[in-house]
């Protein structure tokens, strides 16, 4: 079994082979006659079989010409009024060329020289103009795919802060990023992956902040994916991460452009993908996964409180079932005697051992959760009633489980919902079963040993070469935005998590001049070699 | 030396799994309903010398849950098992001859030791055999019962508390403030025993007898209170144990004095009554608070050593049935203060005499204060405080820090002394 | 092969702290803390209480005072040739064969100390919590988990330690809060306990805290060299000394003096006494958790040190190939039957004497030799 992603491991070789391949790739030249072009396109794209293919014949000057496009993905009105209608008007020019044709000046026109490019342009929704006698085909950027408008975020909703989320269209998402980060430094580089299903992938970073090595590494990984020519790249995240089997995510997934922009500012790299209303942020540390974007929109004490709750919830999710089992099965004396009597009394009529009981309940909770995601939204509310009633009340009354178990499972479930990141949430939910197992086999000793091993794994886990607990362990300069955060004006240090090129977030000389003593100490530090 | 190179990949994944797999043990696993929790353990002298009769009181956990229907209505709330002529820990297994579940003594609320056992057998040897067991807890209270512990457990059926553990908890929690019983537990006993100090145990009984004198209030030991009704248990006073054996009892008031003079009664408040100096047939009720512990100065350089104890008291006079105006008349107040001091001194002197002459022990734990004057353990051992304490000169001085008269300004609502009307 | 940002590809400014396999002052401090503080909560307390009697808590400070000059000596010696660790410096001074011989002795003693230190943990857990679980299984689990940490490297151990340090201190605070009302503060008198043994006992048993000097073996893994080593060790062992002293002080005041020295596993017994208010009592299992975590870190450092020395002595190229044999030896040697606590105590005392008799002379000799060479080379330079 390979624990590492082979693409990443061999990325250097793959990139080399990609370059060779690109250099030696055969390209079909475009035939001279219009009929030949049409026939070739129809043969290649099986256009006669597609009913949404449109071919509009027209004349270009005196030559016969044709406009090809797919119905629905090209803006038909603009094709009508911007291409066909102007071309039908007589022109005075003697030598005609669509690139310099006055009638088409309002459009972006691109000349294509290979049939492969023509195909791609067509499926990208661009109408193409083929003219008899030209060895080139002209594509107009008039694509208009049907897309969902920008909508409210569904998974990372906040009470205070921007509400809009990414959509499925890459261009819209790029535009959103540009809107949240209006800086000439923002570089968004787009490419396409997948042989059959061409998926647009864009890499965004701040030129003056992001570490060039990090950007180069991510580009290299994408090159490696490209070199292997997968038929489809459904989720670019899974092609880029190093450890496919690890429970921990290597990248932060967000549907919030503001969050992506905030990470860009700290030197992270954002990867967005077509047909996926998410942005992937690399590298991701525990803190990125643990924080919610609301933490910075809410005022300081409130955000401290929220983070405190979330930290407690983290441990509750992970440990509650395990600790319950450990306490009731191994460390009986640990439970306060009133509670102990109550649990012990109610357990007498229950037919299962406590471990099985917990496991059953946790499992059925996961059932409810999975079902409530898949269930049609019309009958969604019923699932709550079914879950609460059947699994809670009824199971207790039927003496299948003890009442305290409902509380244990409810607390665990509730706590798990507080984790803002989807991947991390799942990782926590899965690993709580390991802790349940450890607690059931050796009590608190098992839990503590597993905790030690898990902690060791966590701190040695690296996402894009960055330790999972940076900037806390290893301790590197940062704005101390970890468990708690500082007041926004005091967040002056650029965290070195993603090893950014930029040093500060603020004009430091002026900022420290506000605090005479601090300024003096800084000056003294600067003087020391 | 930097050879910390890449490890073989497979190990990275296998190692944590290995840890997980090795945990498939479950040796110590118990199911909660499979455990019988012992609330109280009682020790009596067995018929064969060196053996004990051990009584276990086991709670019925189902009585703790309310809404279980009527399946448990007819079950008793606890069951008692007495095993004759055995050792304390053997019973954990032996009791299963007559009971279905695994005996667990981690929730024992109190150890009961009968007076007869305490007077004849070294208590340390009785208790030491239990506290090696990991389920044993050092903070468990120990109570000396006047009758056989077995009888005590059988008789102790409190009126309000369905589950017996609540009884001990509430009871001890209350005594913490008043100090008429010492809060004795295993850890303190072991601590005192190792240092060869005497130790006071809670004294209790369920057998009432006619009190020898009437109107004694708290100057009684358990079983001699003038009381009707309530729970069957009387818990007042202390059993004094020295060198592992019980040597006598203290009344409730004496117990409190011992704790007071040993600076062990921390922030406490309790009621005390004194004879009215101007009309001795009436009693003045007061509430005493001692916010500051007693100050104890011991001079070990003198021979015999001198022990000066200064006890600050905050007295709140609550009722003056004689209706003498102690409230506004400063002269009378002075008399009252002097009288309170005298009465306290009398009681104290009696007690100190009893400790020094009759028992010849350091009843008040003054040893702890004498130790401060020594730098090393050897010097302390050489001094042999235990031998010198009976000859020590003890001066106890009460200091009434404050005299207060509760919520009422005058002893009589009408504002005129009763005597003036006559 | 490294991914993403790595040491081989330095960024624009400095190297990547996540992949450089070095530990900084924080990590070193935490490692030193866990290396030493656990000694206040295991069978070592028997030694400490036997030196000082009821002033056993003072003997912790005595140890600290004794160790400071040696720590300073090691730091100064290593500072003379910054960038070398103890082994490299010794090789340069005494030559390779002598160093190898010395390190073999240290390795054997380290092995013995680790085994003698680790086995009681398994027994403790068996006696106090897991009456029916075989101690072997607990021992294996302890070895496996610590071994896993050691296998992930010093960097990981350091980070785990630095993450756990605040929690460990917090749990000490909680423990004190839990028992403060049952402590009898007068038990610490007579103040100097058993008197002179308070000073002479630690001197003879200096080997108990020799771990501090063992850490100098990894000096080249420490960011900032000797300066960080000195600061980290000083702060780490300082906090550890205060914590261990507080622990011992709590044992004496909670159990009383003659009773405390007869109490086996006092930390566990103390956690049993802890209670918060009337209803939250019996919380020892929660303290067991943090204690196990601390012990795992403690032994991870031990195992890492042993493997490191092993690698040097054998001359093995790969660090990780040796970890499995090392764990195997620990496991098998741990089977040596000495069920009796007293016997184990005696063996431990021997190892401690041996450590005292080898490590400290070695350190002094090294310091003298380095100083002499340093002077001579400076003198030569002057002559030129």
Residue A49: both structure tokens together = 């079989």
Q: Does any CB of chain A come closer than 8 Å to the CB of residue C155?
A: yes
Which of C87, C145, C259 is opposite residue B190, by nearest beta carbon?
C259
Task: Decide if pLDDT at B370 tops 80.
Answer: yes
Q: Does any CB of chain A come closer than 8 Å to the CB of residue C278?
A: no
DSSP string, A13-24: HHHHHHHHHHHH
Indicate if the alpha-carbon torsion angle A505, A506, A508, A509 is positive or negative. positive
Cα separation, B58 vs A443, whole angstroms:
25
DSSP string, A186-201: EEEEEEEE-SSB-EEE
| Residues 3-32 of chain A whose Cβ lies under 8 A from any Cβ of chain B | 3-4
Task: Decide if pLDDT at A273 tops 70.
Answer: yes
CB contact at 8 A, A494 and A502? yes
Q: Residues of C with CB below 8 A from B16's CB? A: 148
Residue A244: both structure tokens together = 């496919």
Residue B298: which domain range? 262-422
Cα separation, B187 vs B195, whole angstroms:
12
pLDDT digits (tens, 9 = 90+) for B266-290: 667 788 888 888 888 888 888 888 7
Q: Does any CB of chain B come closer than 8 Å to the CB of residue A333?
A: yes
Q: Residues of B with CB below 8 A from C153's CB? A: 4
Q: In a mutagenesis test of the A interface, which of B11, B12, B31 is the best target, namely the one with the most A β-carbons within 10 Å?
A: B31
Return the exposure string of B384-421: e unless at least 16 CB atoms fall within 10 Å of the residue's CB, then b: ebbeebeebebebebebeebebeeeebbbeeeebeeee
- Residue range B192-213: mean pLDDT, rounded: 84
User: How many A/B residue pairs have CB atoms within 8 Å?
Assistant: 99
Kindly report the nearest CA distance between residue C229 and chain A, in angstroms: 16
Q: How many structural domains compose chain C? A: 1
Q: Does any CB of chain B come closer than 8 Å to the CB of residue A347?
A: yes
The CA distances from residue B412 to A81, B173, B321, B396, in Å, are 110, 36, 9, 35
pLDDT digits (tens, 9 = 90+) for C102-146: 999 999 999 888 888 888 888 888 888 887 888 888 888 899 999
Kindly report the nearest CA distance between residue B74 and chain A, in angstroms: 15
Per DSSP, the three-state class of B297 is strand
Measured between CA atoms, the residue of chain B closest to residue A453 is B16
Partners of A463 in the β-ladder: A466
User: Predicted confidence band at A174 (pLDDT cuts at 50, 70, 90)?
Assistant: very high
Partners of B400 in the β-ladder: B313
Which of C145, C163, C164 is opposite residue A449, by nearest beta carbon?
C145
* H runs (alpha helix) in C82-208: 86-94, 96-128, 135-151, 154-179, 197-204
Pairing of β A53-60 and β A109-112: unpaired
pLDDT given for residue A1 in this prediction: 38
Task: Decide if pLDDT at B71 tops 70.
Answer: no
pLDDT digits (tens, 9 = 90+) for A359-394: 888 888 888 888 888 888 777 777 776 776 667 777
* Contact assignment for C186 to B372 by CB distance below 8 Å: yes
Those chains having 3 or more beta-carbon pairs within 8 angstroms of chain B are A, C
In chain C, the largest separation of any two C-alpha atoms, in whole Å, equals: 80
Cα separation, C336 vs B135, whole angstroms:
28
Share of chain B above pLDDT 90, in %: 4
- Residue C379 CB neighbours (<10 A): 10
pLDDT digits (tens, 9 = 90+) for A184-243: 999 999 998 888 888 899 999 999 999 888 899 899 899 988 888 888 888 899 998 888
Per-chain mean pLDDT for chain A:
86
Task: Decide if pLDDT at B410 tops 70.
Answer: no
Cα separation, C300 vs A456, whole angstroms:
11
Q: Residues of C with CB below 8 A from A474's CB? A: 17-18, 24, 27, 155, 159
Cα separation, B235 vs B253, whole angstroms:
13
Q: Using CB atoms within 10 A of its CB, is residue C61 exposed (0-12), middle (13-18) or buried (19+)? A: middle
Q: Residues of A with CB below 8 A from C304's CB? A: none
The number of residues in chain C equals 384
pLDDT digits (tens, 9 = 90+) for A317-337: 999 999 999 988 888 888 888
pLDDT digits (tens, 9 = 90+) for A455-502: 999 998 888 888 898 888 888 888 888 888 889 888 888 888 888 888
Phi/psi at B76 (nearest 5 deg)?
-75, 160
Q: Residues of C with CB below 8 A from A212's CB? A: 12
Q: Residues of B with CB below 8 A from C273's CB? A: 138-139, 187
Nearest-Å Rg of the Cα atoms of chain B is 27
Indicate if the alpha-carbon torsion angle B244, B246, B248, B249 is positive or negative. positive
Measured between CA atoms, the residue of chain A closest to residue B169 is A337
Measured between CA atoms, the residue of chain A closest to residue C26 is A475
pLDDT given for residue C133 in this prediction: 81
Per DSSP, the three-state class of C164 is helix
Kindly report the nearest CA distance between residue B15 and chain C, in angstroms: 6
* Contact assignment for A453 to B19 by CB distance below 8 Å: yes
Q: Does any CB of chain B come closer than 8 Å to the CB of residue A343?
A: yes
The CATH code of the domain that includes B345 is 3.30.300.210
Domain membership flag for residue C2: no
pLDDT digits (tens, 9 = 90+) for C346-382: 888 888 888 888 888 898 888 888 888 766 665 554 4
Q: Does any CB of chain A come closer than 8 Å to the CB of residue C26?
A: yes
* Contact assignment for C285 to A331 by CB distance below 8 Å: yes
* Contact assignment for B37 to A437 by CB distance below 8 Å: no
Sole residue written with tokens 């000394």:
C241
Measured between CA atoms, the residue of chain C closest to residue A243 is C3
Residue A317: both structure tokens together = 């999710």
Query: Of A478-487, A507-516, C68-77, C78-87, which range is least confident?
Result: A507-516
Cα separation, A270 vs A259, whole angstroms:
10
Q: Residues of C with CB below 8 A from B7's CB? A: 151, 320
Q: Does any CB of chain C come closer than 8 Å to the CB of residue B381?
A: no
pLDDT digits (tens, 9 = 90+) for C149-189: 998 888 899 999 999 999 999 999 999 999 888 888 888 88
pLDDT given for residue A99 in this prediction: 81
pLDDT digits (tens, 9 = 90+) for C191-244: 888 888 888 888 888 888 888 888 888 888 888 888 888 999 999 999 999 999
For chain A, what are the domain ranges?
34-140, 170-282, 298-460, 463-529
Closest CA to C268 of A445, B287, B53, B209: A445
Phi/psi at A34 (nearest 5 deg)?
-65, -40
The CA distances from residue B228 to A186, B172, B209, in Å, are 89, 21, 12
Cα separation, A100 vs A114, whole angstroms:
20
Domain membership flag for residue C14: no
Measured between CA atoms, the residue of chain A closest to residue C140 is A449
* Contact assignment for A475 to C160 by CB distance below 8 Å: no
Return the exposure string of A172-206: e unless at least 16 CB atoms fall within 10 Å of the residue's CB, then b: bbbebbeebbeeeebbbeeebbbeeeebbbbbbbb
User: Predicted confidence band at B329 (pLDDT cuts at 50, 70, 90)?
Assistant: confident
* Contact assignment for B32 to A1 by CB distance below 8 Å: no
Phi/psi at A515 (nearest 5 deg)?
-115, 100
User: Predicted confidence band at B25 (pLDDT cuts at 50, 70, 90)?
Assistant: low
CB under 8 Å to A313, separation ≥6 — which residues?
A414, A415, A416, A418, A419
Q: Does any CB of chain C come closer than 8 Å to the CB of residue B176?
A: no
CA trace torsion A115, A117, A122, A125 (10° rounding): -170
* Contact assignment for A440 to B9 by CB distance below 8 Å: no
Sole residue written with tokens 């089992």:
A325
Measured between CA atoms, the residue of chain C closest to residue B187 is C255
Kindly report the nearest CA distance between residue B172 and chain C, in angstroms: 11
Per DSSP, the three-state class of B206 is coil
User: How many A/C residue pairs have CB atoms within 8 Å?
Assistant: 162
pLDDT digits (tens, 9 = 90+) for B91-116: 888 888 888 888 888 888 889 999 99
Query: Of A483-492, B64-73, B192-201, C363-372, which range is least confident?
Result: B64-73
Q: How many structural domains compose chain B? A: 1
Measured between CA atoms, the residue of chain C closest to residue B24 is C137
Give first-to-last CA distance, chain B, whole Å: 107
Q: Residues of C with CB below 8 A from B6's CB? A: 1
- Residue A392 CB neighbours (<10 A): 18
pLDDT given for residue B413 in this prediction: 55
- Give the 3-state secondary structure of A362-375: HHHHHHHHHHHHHC
CB contact at 8 A, A174 and A200? no
Q: Using CB atoms within 10 A of its CB, is residue C119 exposed (0-12), middle (13-18) or buried (19+)? A: buried
Cα separation, A167 vs A281, whole angstroms:
16
**pLDDT top residue among A189 and B29:** A189
The CA distances from residue C88 to C10, C69, C96, C100, in Å, are 27, 22, 9, 11
Which of B16, B59, B65 is opposite residue A457, by nearest beta carbon?
B16
Per DSSP, the three-state class of A97 is coil
Which of B169, B193, B376 is opposite residue C192, by nearest beta carbon?
B376
Residue A523: both structure tokens together = 């000056």
Q: Does any CB of chain B come closer than 8 Å to the CB of residue C92?
A: no
Kindly report the nearest CA distance between residue A417 and chain B, in angstroms: 27
Kindly report the nearest CA distance between residue C126 and chain B, in angstroms: 10
pLDDT digits (tens, 9 = 90+) for B3-23: 444 444 555 556 656 655 555
Q: Residues of A with CB below 8 A from C290's CB? A: 448
Q: Does any CB of chain B come closer than 8 Å to the CB of residue C169?
A: no
Query: Of A350-364, B224-238, B239-253, which range is least confident?
Result: B224-238
pLDDT given for residue C297 in this prediction: 94
Residue A239: both structure tokens together = 């092609």
Pairing of β B35-45 and β B110-114: parallel
pTM (two decimals): 0.89
Domain membership flag for residue C378: no
* Contact assignment for C133 to B6 by CB distance below 8 Å: no
Kindly report the nearest CA distance between residue C379 and chain B, in angstroms: 31
* H runs (alpha helix) in A245-353: 257-265, 286-290, 294-297, 300-329, 337-347
* Contact assignment for B371 to C137 by CB distance below 8 Å: no
Cα separation, B159 vs B74, whole angstroms:
18
CB under 8 Å to A432, separation ≥6 — which residues?
A317, A318, A319, A320, A321, A322, A362, A412, A416
Which of C134, C141, C193 is opposite residue B377, by nearest beta carbon?
C193
CB contact at 8 A, C330 and C118? yes
Cα separation, C34 vs A452, whole angstroms:
14
Pairing of β B52-59 and β B78-86: antiparallel
**pLDDT top residue among A312 and B179:** A312
Q: In a mutagenesis test of the C interface, which of B191, B382, B385 is the best target, namely the one with the most C β-carbons within 10 Å?
A: B191
Closest CA to C178 of C104, C258, C105, C269: C269
Residue B364: both structure tokens together = 């008040």
* Contact assignment for C18 to A470 by CB distance below 8 Å: yes
Closest CA to A237 of A281, A196, A199: A281
* Contact assignment for A337 to B107 by CB distance below 8 Å: yes
Kindly report the nearest CA distance between residue A174 and chain B, in angstroms: 38
């Amino acid at each position: 079994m390979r624990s590492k992603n082979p693409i990443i491991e061999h990325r250097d070789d793959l990139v080399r082979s990609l370059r060779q391949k690109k250099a030696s790739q055969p390209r079909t030249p475009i035939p001279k006659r219009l009929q030949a072009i049409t026939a070739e396109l129809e043969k290649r794209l099986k256009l006669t079989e597609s009913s949404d293919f449109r071919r509009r014949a027209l004349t270009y000057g005196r030559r016969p010409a044709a406009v090809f496009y797919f119905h629905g993905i090209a803006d038909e009105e603009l094709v009508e009024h911007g291409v066909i209608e102007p071309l039908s008007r007589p022109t005075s020019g003697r030598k005609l060329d669509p690139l310099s044709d006055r009638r088409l000046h309002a459009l972006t026109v691109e000349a294509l020289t290979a049939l492969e490019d023509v195909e791609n342009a067509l499926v990208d929704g661009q109408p193409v103009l083929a003219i008899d006698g030209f060895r080139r085909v002209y594509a107009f950027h008039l694509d208009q795919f049907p897309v969902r408008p920008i909508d409210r975020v569904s998974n990372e909703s906040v009470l205070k802060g921007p509400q809009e989320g990414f959509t499925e269209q890459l261009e819209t998402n790029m535009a959103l990023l540009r809107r949240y980060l209006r800086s000439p430094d923002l570089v968004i580089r787009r490419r396409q992956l997948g042989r059959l299903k061409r998926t647009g992938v864009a890499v965004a970073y701040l030129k003056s902040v992001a570490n060039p090595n990090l950007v180069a590494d991510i580009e290299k990984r994408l090159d490696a994916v490209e070199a292997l020519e997968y038929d489809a790249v459904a989720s670019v995240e899974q092609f880029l991460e190093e450890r496919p089997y690890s429970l921990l995510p290597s990248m932060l997934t967000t549907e919030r452009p503001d969050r992506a922009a905030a990470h860009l500012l700290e030197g992270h790299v954002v990867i967005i993908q077509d047909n996926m209303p998410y942005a992937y942020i690399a590298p991701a540390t525990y803190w990125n996964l643990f924080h919610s974007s609301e933490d910075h929109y809410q005022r300081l004490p409130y955000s401290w409180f929220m983070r405190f709750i979330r930290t407690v919830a983290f441990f509750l999710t992970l440990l509650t079932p395990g600790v319950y089992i450990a306490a009731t099965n191994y460390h009986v004396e640990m439970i306060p005697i009133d509670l102990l009597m109550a649990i012990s009394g109610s357990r007498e009529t229950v037919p299962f051992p406590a471990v099985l009981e917990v496991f059953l309940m946790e499992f059925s909770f996961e059932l409810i959760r999975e079902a409530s995601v898949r269930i049609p939204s019309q009958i969604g509310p019923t699932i709550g009633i079914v879950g609460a009633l059947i699994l809670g009340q009824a199971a207790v009354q039927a003496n299948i489980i003890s009442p305290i178990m409902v509380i244990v499972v409810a607390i665990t479930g509730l706590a798990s919902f507080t984790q803002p990141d989807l991947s991390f949430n799942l990782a926590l939910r899965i690993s709580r079963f390991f802790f349940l197992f450890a607690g059931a086999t050796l009590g608190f000793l098992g839990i503590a040993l597993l905790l030690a091993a898990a902690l060791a794994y966590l701190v040695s886990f690296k996402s894009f070469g960055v330790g999972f607990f940076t900037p806390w362990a290893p301790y590197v300069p940062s704005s101390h935005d970890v468990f708690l955060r500082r007041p926004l004006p005091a967040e002056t240090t650029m965290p070195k998590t993603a090893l950014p090129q930029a040093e500060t977030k603020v004009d430091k000389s002026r900022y420290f001049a506000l605090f005479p003593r601090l300024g003096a100490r800084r000056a003294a530090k600067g003087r020391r070699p | 030396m930097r050879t910390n190179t890449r490890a073989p990949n497979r190990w990275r994944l296998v190692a944590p799994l290995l840890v997980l797999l090795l945990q498939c043990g479950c040796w110590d696993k118990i199911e909660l309903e499979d455990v019988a929790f012992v609330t109280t353990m009682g020790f009596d002298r067995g018929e064969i010398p060196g053996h004990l009769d051990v009584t276990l009181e086991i709670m019925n956990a189902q009585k703790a849950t309310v809404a279980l229907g009527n399946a448990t209505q007819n079950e008793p709330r606890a069951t008692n098992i007495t095993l004759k002529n055995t050792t304390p820990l053997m019973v954990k297994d032996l009791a299963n001859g007559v009971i279905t579940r695994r005996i667990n003594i981690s929730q024992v609320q109190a150890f009961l030791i009968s007076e007869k056992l305490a007077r004849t057998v070294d208590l340390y040897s009785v208790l030491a055999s239990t506290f090696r067991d990991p389920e044993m807890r050092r903070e468990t209270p120990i109570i000396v019962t006047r009758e056989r512990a077995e009888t005590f457990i059988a008789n102790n059926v409190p009126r309000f508390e369905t589950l017996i553990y609540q009884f001990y908890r509430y009871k001890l929690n209350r005594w913490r403030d008043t100090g008429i019983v010492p809060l004795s537990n295993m850890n303190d006993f072991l601590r005192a025993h190792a240092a060869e100090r005497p130790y006071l145990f809670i004294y209790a009984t369920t057998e009432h007898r006619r009190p020898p004198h009437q109107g004694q209030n708290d100057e009684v030991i358990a079983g001699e209170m003038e009381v009707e009704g309530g729970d069957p248990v009387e818990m007042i006073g202390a059993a004094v144990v020295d060198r592992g054996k019980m040597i006598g009892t203290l009344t409730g008031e004496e117990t409190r004095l011992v704790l007071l003079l040993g600076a062990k009664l921390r922030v406490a408040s309790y009621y005390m009554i004194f004879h009215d100096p101007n009309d001795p047939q009436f009693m003045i009720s007061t509430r005493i608070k001692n916010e500051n512990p007693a100050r104890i100065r011991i001079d070990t350089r003198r021979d015999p050593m001198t022990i000066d104890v200064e006890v600050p008291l905050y007295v709140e006079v609550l009722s003056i049935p004689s209706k003498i105006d102690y409230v506004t008349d400063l002269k009378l107040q002075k008399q009252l203060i002097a009288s309170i001091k005298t009465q306290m001194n009398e009681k104290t002197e009696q007690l100190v005499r009893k400790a020094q002459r009759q028992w010849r022990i350091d009843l008040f734990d003054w040893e702890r204060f004498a130790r401060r004057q020594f730098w090393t353990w050897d010097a302390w051992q050489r001094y042999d405080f235990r031998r010198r304490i009976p000859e020590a000169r003890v001066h106890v001085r009460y200091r009434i820090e404050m005299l207060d008269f509760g919520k009422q300004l005058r002893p009589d609502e009408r504002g005129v002394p009763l005597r003036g009307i006559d | 092969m490294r991914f993403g940002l790595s040491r081989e590809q330095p960024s624009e400014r400095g190297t990547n702290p996540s992949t450089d396999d070095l530990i900084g002052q924080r990590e070193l401090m935490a490692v030193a803390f866990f290396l030493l503080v656990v000694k206040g909560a295991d069978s070592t307390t028997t030694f400490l209480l036997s030196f000082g009697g009821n002033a056993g808590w003072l003997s912790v400070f005595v140890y600290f005072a004794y160790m400071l000059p040696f720590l300073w000596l090691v730091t100064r010696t290593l500072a003379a040739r910054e960038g070398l660790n103890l082994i490299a410096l010794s090789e340069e001074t005494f030559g390779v064969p002598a160093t190898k011989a010395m390190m073999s002795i240290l390795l054997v003693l380290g092995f013995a100390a680790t085994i003698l230190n680790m086995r009681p943990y398994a027994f403790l857990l068996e006696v106090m919590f897991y009456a029916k679980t075989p101690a072997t299984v607990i021992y294996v689990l302890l070895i496996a988990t610590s071994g896993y940490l050691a296998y992930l490297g010093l960097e990981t151990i350091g980070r785990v330690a630095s993450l756990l340090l605040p929690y460990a201190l917090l749990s000490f605070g909680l423990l004190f809060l839990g028992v403060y009302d049952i402590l009898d503060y007068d038990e610490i008198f007579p103040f100097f306990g058993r008197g002179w043994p308070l000073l002479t006992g630690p001197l003879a048993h200096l080997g108990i805290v020799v771990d501090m000097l063992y850490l100098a073996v990894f000096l080249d893994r420490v960011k900032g060299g000797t300066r960080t080593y000195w600061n980290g060790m000083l702060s780490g062992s300082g906090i550890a000394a205060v914590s261990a002293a507080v622990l011992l002080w709590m044992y004496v005041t909670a159990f009383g003096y003659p009773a405390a020295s007869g109490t086996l596993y006092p930390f566990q017994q103390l956690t049993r006494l802890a209670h918060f208010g009337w209803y939250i009592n019996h919380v020892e299992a929660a303290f067991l958790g943090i204690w196990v975590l601390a012990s795992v870190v403690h032994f991870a450092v031990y195992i890492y040190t042993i493997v490191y020395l092993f690698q040097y002595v054998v001359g093995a190229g790969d660090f990780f190939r040796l970890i499995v044999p090392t764990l195997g030896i620990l496991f098998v040697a741990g089977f040596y039957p000495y069920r009796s606590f007293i016997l184990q105590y005696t063996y431990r005392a021997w190892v401690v004497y041996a450590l005292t008799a080898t490590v400290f002379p070695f350190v002094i000799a090294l310091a003298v030799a380095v100083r002499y060479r340093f002077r001579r080379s400076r003198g030569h330079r002057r002559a030129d």
